[in-house]
A = this chain, B = another copy of it.
Amino acid sequence: MSDDNTMRAIIKPDSSPGLEMVRAPIPRPGPRDALIKIAATSICGTDLHIFKWDPWARSRINPPIIVGHEFCGHVVEIGDMVTEAKVGDYVSAESHIICHTCSSCRTGRGHLCQNTKIIGVDRDGCWADYIVMPAENLWLNPPDLSLEVASLQENFGNAVHTAFATDLTARKVLVTGCGPVGLMTIMVAKAAGARAIYATDIANYRLRMAKEMGADMAINVSEQNAFDVIWADTGGDGVDVLLEMSGAPQAIDLGFRLLRYGGEAALLGLAPSAIPFDINNHIVFKGATVYGIVGREIWGTWYRMRGLLSGDGIDLSRVITHRFALEDYDKALEVMQSGQSGKVVMFPDGLPHLTNGA
């Protein structure tokens, strides 16, 4: 902690594009909060929306605000009433701070809480030296988990939540959209023993990564007729499961056309707006089951993640393509926007020698 009780923080300073690194007061924990020293923080598509100041960002964000919601770090101070964490704990965090009083929260579906406050969106985030979080939002990491993977867990949770909406083992799975979450979803499908994993996207960089993460077939829909290729490979049965990660109307349509009768679809991607949708053929006649996916189950998904990341399970570092010091956030954002990247991680204390949290 600096002498003047300030820290570095990357903020959206006002209602216009761009971000800025400033010095801000180190926040103080309330009685049920913890103060965490950030060790690693990763970039999400949401952060790009805020950086670019697109319509969604304009409608949701009230500057000035510290951005960022994926991180890991160490607890340096706790409030009086905190029992869930102690100073020195190596933690990641669920970024959604839920109300605990609505019917969703009170029935084990806190990820659907409509009163949720998200760090880096509705209150100060983690692209900084420190963050204050409710202690109940902290997830204790095993000491041998690398900092960069620990930071990724929040986002990995989206992939895991989507993948576990249905059972993938021994099934034919289509993942539409190979951004970082799509890539991590492919890793989960592979770990779960999917019979075949088909991946689609429009960027060859990402499709190459999809193959590396375990896709049996990765198709550039702007170059090939993905329907014909995948349909043929399934022997004309279609896929058992669609995991829609892109929100692109063409991908949604393609995915449902490839879905088998009686198949299941989990939808995470956000469409640009209401889109033409063939409910008859996509859902009704097929007897399909469709799951809307938002956030992560708190904490069901996190326990599943722990299982996937332990032992000889998933090596999540394979999805990370670039690492930067936090001060180089502008370069990191540039890489993210290029489409020539997987996950990008930043380190407030400079590039580590990839040590773990111990």
Contacts and interface: CB of A to CB of B under 8 A. Distances in A.
A91 B123 CA distance: 34
Contacts of A196: 310-311
24 contacts: A100-B136, A103-B299, A106-B298, A108-B108, A108-B300, A112-B286, A112-B287, A164-B169, A169-B193, A169-B304, A169-B307, A193-B308, A195-B311, A267-B283, A275-B279, A277-B277, A283-B290, A284-B293, A284-B294, A286-B294, A288-B291, A289-B289, A290-B290, A290-B292
Most B CB contacts (10 A, CB to CB) among A247, A289, A294, A311 go to A294
A271 B276 contact: no
Nearest to A249: B279
B109 A287 contact: yes
Nearest to A32: B81
The binding surface of chain A is classed by DSSP as loop
Interface string A87-129: 0000000000000110110111101101000000000000000
A288 B292 contact: yes
Interface residues of A, number: 70
A47 interface: no
Most B CB contacts (10 A, CB to CB) among A196, A291, A298, A307 go to A307
A304 B114 contact: no
A168 interface: yes
Given A169-B304, A195-B311, 8 more contacts: A103-B299, A108-B297, A112-B261, A170-B304, A170-B308, A170-B313, A270-B280, A276-B277
Contacts of A100: 136
A118 to B, nearest CB: 13
A73 to B, nearest CB: 20
A351 B325 CA distance: 64
A191 interface: yes
Contact of A237 (B103, B109, B169, B291): B103
A274 interface: yes
A83 B106 contact: no
B195 A192 contact: no
